[in-house]
Every structure is written in C-alpha cells, then in structure tokens.
A and B are shown apart, each in its own frame.
Chain A
Amino acid sequence: MNPIPFMKWRWVAIALSGLAIVTAVASLSLQQLNWGLDFTGGTLIEVAYSDSADLSSIRSVLAEEGYDGAVVVSFGTDRDVLVRLPDGYSDEQGALMVDKLRSSTDMAIELRRIEFVGPQVGDELRDDGGIAMLTALGLVMLYVAFRFQIKFALGAVLALAHDVLLTLGFFSILQLEFDLTVLAAILAIIGYSLNDTIVVSDRIRENLRKIRRAEAIDVINISLTETLGRTLVTSLTTLLVLAALALFGGEMIFGFAVALLVGVTVGTYSSMYVASTTLLQLGVSKEDVMVPEREGADQEGMLP
C-alpha cells in the first residue's frame, strides 16, 4: 500500500490544533467551566411529580419560602424536576424543601435524590482532580521516556494535554455541567488517548529501525498509514459503545459519555497528528531508537 502523505498537511493540523486550543483556553479563562455540585458545594434535589410539573409555580413557591438563588429546571421528562440551591444552605434544607413542595401541590411527589456537598469538599476535590491529572501526565511521560525515548514522551504528553484541553474547552464552550463523573472521564481519556499514541509510536520506532535510508517524514507517513486501519477500527468500536451509553445510559451518566465521545474523537486525531508532528519537529531519527550496544546477554529483550 502506498503511504498516505499525512505529514504533508501537518501545518494545516498545527494551525487547526492551535486555533482549537486558543479557543478552548479563551473559553476556559473567560467563562470557566460549569462546575457541578461536586465541586461548588450546595444542594441538589431531584423529584418526580405524578403528572407534568409546573416549573413556574414551583419557582414561586420556592421564592415565597425564601430559597434565594434556587435554580429549577426539568430533568429528562417534564415530570422530573431538578432544583439546585447554591452553597450556603444547611444540610437540612434539602429534605425540608421536599416537604414544602409536597404541601404546595395535590400531586404526589416522589423523592428521587438529594445531594448536599459542603464547600470544603468541593475545593478539595478540584485540587485533587488537578493533581491527579498532572500526576497521570508525569508518570506517563516517565514510562514512555523509559520504554521509548524522551522525544516520544514529549510527543505523547503533548497529545494528552491537547486532548484534555480540548475536551475541557468543549465543556466550557457549551457550558455542560462538569461533575465528578466527567472528571473520571477526562482521566479515562488520558488513558485512551495514550493507548492510541503508544501504538502509533511503537510502529514509528519499529519502522525507524527497520527501514533503511528513509527520511523521518517518510517513516512517519508509512507508520501512520500502516496503523490507520487499526486506529479507525478501535475508535469506531469505542465510539459505538459510548454512543450507546450516551443514548441509553440516562441523565446521570450523560456527561461522562459525552466527555469520552469528544475525548476519543480528538484523541484519534491527536495520536496521528499531534504526537507524530511533535516527533518530526523534534527531529526524531534512527539514532534515537537504536538498540544499545549489547554489553551482556541479559540485555536482550529489553528493547524489542
């Protein structure tokens, strides 16, 4: 099969990624993320009315009862209502409010869930999440540097940072709620995108050693062409199950599925363009992946 000249368009890719990153960073710094309850603290109440609920009357009941800053939206169906109270209400208020809603209407109200998160938990979670993400990136870089070479590690980490940033940007631009499950999804994206990048890097390394007298750009093109089928098939199967999750998994898991859908799509692209372009710009060459001079028999198998 003739290699597809992927790298010929790398400037287009760089421009594209650059633009996307600038947009993401701009949105993140201007309107930040729509932090979910897990991070902001506050109270969230989900109730199911026996018949379609009148949001405006619920709002006026809550306003009368003095719940300032209560946000009332319907959730999924018109019978399910979600009320969110900002941080500052005590942990008792959730249950009290359900009682008040019950007495304000003839309809039966079923309590679906109450979540109360104190402010100290939220801040901590945000810090821990950030630390986890940085730790993950750092450890991954170490592992790749050890198993491959530092240029590959840089490429991998850049690709990961790219994916995480774009997914965060997506959530910021659309102001989708960023809760704990989305954080888990972001970390899973790191895992997934890495998987992709490693497979491509592995092939580049192999071809750098195998193909004599070829420019790095050609080796990368050949490697990307060879792994293209696998990359697409794996992404496709993963996207299939994620789509099933997003469509059928219900509201509580929707954010998680959307984050992964975005992340996997971006990750597929970044494993082809971001990691490889970085390698090329860093001037990867045969010498970087040479099997070291064998000093003893035990060295065999260290590097395949």
Chain B
Amino acid sequence: MINHYPLWKNVLILIVVAGGFFYAAPNLYAPDPALQIAGASSSQTIDKPILGRAEQALTDAGIPFFGEVIQEQGKSALLRLTDRDQQLRAQAVVARELGDAFIVALNLAPTTPDWLLQGGATPMKLGLDLSGGVHFKLEVDVAAATERRLEQYEIGIKKRLREERVRGRVSLDGQRAVMQFRAEADREAARKLVAELYPELFLDRVDEADAWLLYGNVTEQTITELVDYAVTQNLTTIRNRVNELGVSEPLVQRQGRNRIVVELPGIQDTAEAKRILGKVANLEFRLVAEANAPISERQRFEYRSADREGMTEWLERDVIISGESVSNAQAGFDQNSQPNVSISLDGEGGMLMSRATRANVKRRMGVLFIERKYRTRYEVTESGEEVAKRIPYDEKKLLTAPVIQSALGAQFQITGLDNPGESSELALMLRAGALAAPITFVEERTVGPSLGAENIRLGTKSVQVGLALVVIFMMLYYRVFGVAAVLALSGNLVLLVAIMSLLGATLTLPGIAGIVLTVGMAVDANVLIFARIREEIRGGAPPQTAIGQGFDRAVVTILDANITTLIVAIILYAIGTGPVKGFAVTLSVGIITSMLSSIIGTRALVNLFYGGRRVQALSIGGVGGTKVVQQGAAE
C-alpha cells in the first residue's frame, strides 16, 4: 500500500504535536503584575506579620491585590496585583511601609497552572523591548588596566634590582617597561632576575651607543588574562549590586572580550540604577588602636562577616592606605598549605605601608570595607505631595584585623585564616574594594512599560493578520492540500513556540518578526511539494504515484534550500547581539520545525486524506482553475 503511514508513525506525530501543545501552552497565560519583597541582607527573613504590613499598606492605599505568598522559606514574598498601571504606586507604598531593611521589586509573576509546571512547561521570557526595563552595556577600560599592571611591574623590578644590587634605571614607556644599564653584565643579571620574577614579560635586548637597554613587553596573552580578570571581578561586584536594585530577574552577562551586559526588567529609573551599578566600594587599612589611646583618636567598627556578628574592634582614626592603592588580592596557600591572601599595592601604597608598619610590628592592622548605601527619607513638598528622598551614606565594616608579623611593603600576605572559603571570600572583598579597572557605560536602552505592552500587542496582531492571509491563500489555491498545509503550518507554529519555551529563549520584537517570517517561508516547502505533485499529475502519473513521487523528489530540494538558510541564521546568531540574536534563534528553530512539519506533518495528513484507497482525483487546485482529474488506482 503506498501513501500510508504505519500506525506507530501516526501515533508518534500525534505525540510530538501533543507535546508541542503542552509546552507551548504556558505562553497563553498572561503573567500577573506583582511585587516581590526580599530582605536587604541575607539574614533578613520575611514572615507573616511583615507580609501583613505590606498587605495592610496596599489595602489602605486602595490597591487591590491577591495571591500573597511567602517563598523560599521566608527569603522572599510575592504579592499579585490586578492592575498593571498601579504597579509602580504599589511598589512605592509597600517600600514606604517596610523601610530600608527590605527590597521591593517589580515582578511579572507567571500564572502557569500547576499541571503544566509539573511537566516542566514554562512560558518564554519576554525581552526588554516587550517587558520594559533597562539595558546597559559596560566596558572595561583595557588600556587603564594594562597601565596599572605595568606600574606594578615597575615597582617589582625596581625593588628586585635594588635587593640584588644591580645598578640600572627602570621606567615606563607606553605598553612596556624600559630598563637602562651602564654595563652589559648588569643587564644580563637583570634579565635573569626579571625573567624569574615575571615570566610573562617578553624581554628584548637593544644596544645603544652609551647604554644597554632591556625592554619588558607585555604580551597579548598577559593582557587577555588581565582583561579576563578585570571583567570577572566587575561581573561579581555588579551581580552583588544588581541584587540591591530589587529586580526580580536581572541578567548580568559577559559579552565579548571586555564588555558586560546588564538587563534589568521593570526598572525605569536609569539614573538610580546607574548610581548603584557604578558605585565604587572602597577599603581602608588602619592600625588597631592601643588600649590607652585617647578616645578622640580611635573609632569603633563592627565586623562584616555573619559569624563574628556583634564583635567590634577599636581602630585608629589615621588611615594608612585606601582601596586606590591596592592593585591585586589573590587567595592562595603558604608553604605549610595554610590558606592565605596575597595583597599587592602600588608604589606609593607600598611606601606608606612600610613606613607605617616598620615601627608597629606585633601590633594589629584592621581592614575596613566601605560601601555606599542609601537611606530613604520621606519628605512633604510644598504642594503637599510626599516624595521619597534617597540619602547616601558610607557603611564601614571590618573585614579582618591580623597581627603585623614584620615590616610590610608593596607585597604582603594575610595568613591565619581558618579555611580556603574564608581566604577566597576575603580576597573577593578586597578586590571589590580595590579600584578595579575602570568601567564606562557604552550603551544604554530604556523601554517604558507602555511601549513594551504596545510592542506585544502590535507583534501579536501582525502574526495573526499574516497567518490569516496565508491560510486564506493556501486554502483557495491548493484546496484540500491547502488544508493539509495549513494544519501542518499551525502545528509548526505550535512546535516553534514550544521549542523556544523549552530552550528558555527570550522573546523579542525581532523574534516575533522572525516568527512572522517563518510563517511566510514555512509555506515554501509545501509549495515545492505541491508543485511537484501537480507536475507529476500533468505528466500522466496516477494520483497515488503522483503524491509519493512529489514528496520524494521535493525533499532533496527542500533540504538544500533550508540548510543554506540555516547557515545564514547561524552566522546571524554568532555576530548578533540582543534582539538580533533573538531573531536568529527564532529563524533557526523555525527553519527546522518547518522542514519537519512539511515533510512529515503534511505527508501524514495527505496520507490520511488520500492514502490507501482508490482515488479518482486530487483536490490540489490547478492551473487555470480546473482540477486535474486523472484515472488511477491505488495498489
């Protein structure tokens, strides 16, 4: 029997389509506007009374809400609102009631029913152009980072040459260190020392009339490592700060060599966001005050870590050095495999440090971590309106207070840490406070919530209209075969949405355009097949043979045509960013699903309509409006 799919094949197709519907279904449920409440510090939990206060505040303000729930064992709570327009006002009201100990974030809470969630079905995330929010692109200043590293080399080399009594001059010139010697023997000695000290430097000897020169070039690889280091460091600090902003689903991601992309859905106040993202933490190194020091010369600070909560230490008011002088901090181990943290300072910092510590061996030195925080104060303006004011203040807390074992220089270690976890945490905090490679904002996009909603509406409408036009055309032009094609096309759309949801892809406006384009182009495979079938009939083939031949011969063409398009889509993905990437993903997935749906789906339907029986004529439309009728019989 030709043109007949075995039962298992039909069942398989049904299962795939059913699966498609299941995983595409969550996208049908529009999310609720919601508020997410979380503690400003990790120790702050949210309990019934706190949630009750938030509910009361909303009730008093006349903002309807529902579905309040405490999540993640009290780490956060969710309040759903009925009206999206009231979301911002609700946020302000609840933030006012709960105060600075809590972060109130705008959120879109999914309304996916439980039976779908249990099957792992979740809706597609909406891109910023659809949900509204802020997109930042930050760039790490590679040149500045390299310069800082070079300064470190200069100090290290100078120190080493002095220690080994090699006479020479060390200076910096652009991207390299220049060492100048009076004698070749000196240069040779220096070359050995520097190669040992900084194996990553590429050393080059040049002889001039009155001097023997040695150039230390920073290799491309070192710069790459440097940039990697700076970017990862900034990523960590930015992630921490983004959490302060109260965004439910932030995205902080490295992009390319030296860029960081930050996406904050729901945020509208870019100035505030930038202030928090761009703020610099700082460090202060101070001596621990002696017990008999007058009160006017000392200050008391709390420890920052949770396990030393409540413990305090008196420090001197004089600051030895601050974060600007710290160029690196790295967790590691000493000779006895005890965890430690190595700290590198710049030249001036090293000098100040050695001056301060020389006379104070066996005393203790405290390291303070300084963060800029904001307190919210509510003020009533002349017009009687209450406005929130954010007042900045510096929070200073003690990281550690180790004993000074010997006079310190530009490089020293903090030892006596309990475990590697503690050392890496300390190194991280030191790096966060040290002046990292400077970052600048190179791109910024803000989309207001109303524009996002409008984009969704317009996108949906154009998909609907486009789809309707294609459906009408196909049915008129290809009759029964057109129906098969349209059903397969709908299956294709469902599968496309399902796969995008499963991949966790983000839907953007160009992504919607990609879907529309896929609808248009997905028809192509069907058109190719039907054109072939018509040709076969015209050539005198009986209907069943025509169907079989038409499909088989069109498949090769379809594959060739689509694989090339897929190549283009992949290139698009590789170079594109943000919205363009979204478009490329939709296009690629669309090409694959449309090939499957037309080659297998349409075939199954046509088989169902015509397969395995005597067929007199095929309803496939025809040239000049007449049906092609052909005598024929099924085997």
Contacts and interface: CB of A to CB of B under 8 A. Distances in A.
Interface of A: 1, 46, 48, 91-92, 94-95, 110-118, 120-121, 128-129, 131-132, 135-136, 139-140, 143-144, 147, 180-181, 183-184, 187-188, 190-192, 194-196, 198-199, 202-203, 226-227, 229-230, 233-234, 236-245, 247-250, 252-253, 256-257, 260, 304
Interface stretch (B302-310, B385-393, B440-448): B440-448
Interface string B20-63: 00000000000000000000000000000000000000000000
Nearest to B468: A244
Given A198-B564, A240-B466, A241-B466, A191 B569 contact: yes
Contact of A136 (B517, B519, B567): B567
B568 A194 contact: yes
Contacts of A118: 137, 139, 440-443
Interface size class of B (residues with CB under 8 A): 35 or more
B576 interface: yes
Nearest to A114: B446
Contacts of B450: 48, 110, 112
Most chain A beta-carbon contacts within 10 A, residue among B477, B557, B572, B576: B557
B556 A252 contact: no
B461 interface: yes
Given A111-B268, A191-B569, A253-B513, A230 B445 contact: no
Given A233-B527, A304-B556, A111 B470 contact: no
Nearest to A304: B556
B196 interface: no
Contact of B129 (A48, A131, A252): A252
B628 interface: no
Nearest to B567: A139
A239 B519 CA distance: 11
B571 interface: yes
B565 interface: yes
A160 to B, nearest CB: 10
Contact of A240 (B520, B528, B538, B579): B520
A121 B520 contact: no
Contact of A249 (B462, B556, B562, B567): B462
Nearest to A92: B271
Given A181-B580, A237-B523, A244-B516, A117 B465 contact: no
Contact of B531 (A46, A230, A244, A253): A230
Nearest to A195: B561
Contact of A120 (B274, B442, B538): B442
Contacts of A1: 538, 623
A132 B579 contact: no
B580 A184 contact: yes
Given A111-B448, A183-B580, A234-B527, A244 B466 contact: yes
A236 B303 CA distance: 71
Interface string B567-583: 11101101110011001
B469 A241 contact: yes
B565 A195 contact: yes
Most chain B beta-carbon contacts within 10 A, residue among A129, A187, A192: A187
A112 to B, nearest CB: 4
A15 to B, nearest CB: 29
Contacts of B565: 191-192, 194-195
Nearest to B584: A184
B458 A191 contact: no
B contact face: mostly helix, strand, loop, or mixed = helix
Nearest to B128: A113
Contacts of B569: 191
B444 A139 contact: no
Most chain A beta-carbon contacts within 10 A, residue among B137, B459, B524, B623: B524
Contact of A139 (B447, B448, B571, B584): B571
A140 B571 CA distance: 11
A16 B430 CA distance: 68
Contacts of B528: 199, 230
Given A94-B444, A113-B448, A188-B587, A198 B561 contact: yes
6 contacts: A91-B441, A95-B270, A184-B583, A233-B523, A240-B470, A252-B129
Nearest to B587: A188
Given A118-B441, A184-B583, A241 B571 contact: no
Contact of B473 (A136, A240, A250): A240
Given A184-B584, A233-B477, A252-B509, 5 more contacts: A132-B571, A132-B572, A181-B583, A241-B470, A250-B459
A183 B462 CA distance: 21
Nearest to A249: B462
B126 to A, nearest CB: 15
B297 interface: no
A101 to B, nearest CB: 14
Contact of B580 (A46, A180, A191): A180
Contact of B445 (A115, A184, A192, A237): A115
A181 B583 CA distance: 9
Nearest to A44: B445
Nearest to B566: A191
Most chain A beta-carbon contacts within 10 A, residue among B137, B523, B535, B560: B560
> Would you list the 5 A-B pairs with minimal beta carbon distance, nearest first?
A241-B466, A118-B442, A238-B520, A244-B466, A191-B568
Contacts of B348: none
A230 B527 contact: yes
B575 A131 contact: yes
A195 B572 contact: no
A113 B446 contact: yes
B404 to A, nearest CB: 44
B131 to A, nearest CB: 13
A83 to B, nearest CB: 14
Most chain A beta-carbon contacts within 10 A, residue among B446, B524, B534, B568: B568
A248 B461 contact: yes
Given A184-B583, A249-B458, A249-B513, A46 B451 contact: yes
A47 to B, nearest CB: 9
A244 B473 CA distance: 14
B560 A117 contact: no
B520 A242 contact: yes
